[in-house]
Amino acid sequence: MTSAQMKREPIGYLRPNIPEFGIPSYRGARYEALVPDTLDLQERAALGVHGLTGPTDPATEYEIYWVAYFLSRPPMMQHDWNDSIQPKFMEALPLLRIASGSDLNSEVDRAWMAMTLREIGEDGLAYIPLVGRPWGRLNAVWGVSDGDQFGYPFYNGRLLSTTGFTT
């Protein structure tokens, strides 16, 4: 399903209105140095930032594309219920930004934080919306088909390590 097809129905989050929040600054000293031609960890971390923020879909609030078809012509990505692996990306991104100093695709950080706040219910748990995200209903493992929201332990557990931002 393409992003254009997605626009027919907005994503049905539990909390359409969220509180103001801030993005913590990535502090540290920055400098340039002439070093031998060896493994550059800062450069590798910057590539990691690109790898985490590149396969995202602005039409779905920067949800990741988990499925990629590299052998198709042209290569393509599509949404799938496995997109819910996104908290792993959300945990690693700030660490890679600190290590690299990269602000590439910085709009993704704010979108992911807002999305997380929209998913949190009154019970404090996060629920993945199914409305506006038809691929969420295709979860063969959990048998999701009915309802507007879906919650499961893995997603909530991974989100615990991503909540270091201030509201």
Length of the chain (residues): 167
pLDDT at 153: 86
pLDDT at 30: 81
Is the whole model's pTM more than 0.75, yes or no?
Answer: yes
Chain segment 120-153, per-residue pLDDT in tens: 999 999 999 989 988 887 765 666 667 888 888 8
Neighbours of 52 (CB within 10 A): 22
Put residue 12 in one of left, alpha, beta given phi > 0 → left and psi -120 to 50 → alpha: beta
The answer to whether the beta carbons of residues 111 and 90 sit under 8 Å apart is no
Range 62-79 burial, b when 16+ CB lie within 10 A, else e:
bbbbbeeeeeeeeeeeeb
CA distance linking residue 143 with residue 42, whole number of Å: 42
Phi, psi of 34 (to 5 degrees): -90, 120
Residue with the two structure tokens 């399903």: 1
pLDDT at 8: 61
> Tens-digit pLDDT profile for the chain (167 aa)?
555 544 568 999 999 999 999 988 888 888 888 888 888 999 999 999 999 999 999 999 999 999 999 999 999 999 988 898 999 999 999 999 999 999 999 999 999 999 999 999 999 999 999 899 888 877 656 666 678 888 888 889 999 888 654 44
pLDDT at 60: 93
pLDDT at 47: 98
The answer to whether the beta carbons of residues 150 and 128 sit under 8 Å apart is yes
The helix/strand/coil state of 165 is: coil
Compute CA distances 110 → 1, 20, 59, 159, whole Å. Answer: 25, 11, 15, 15
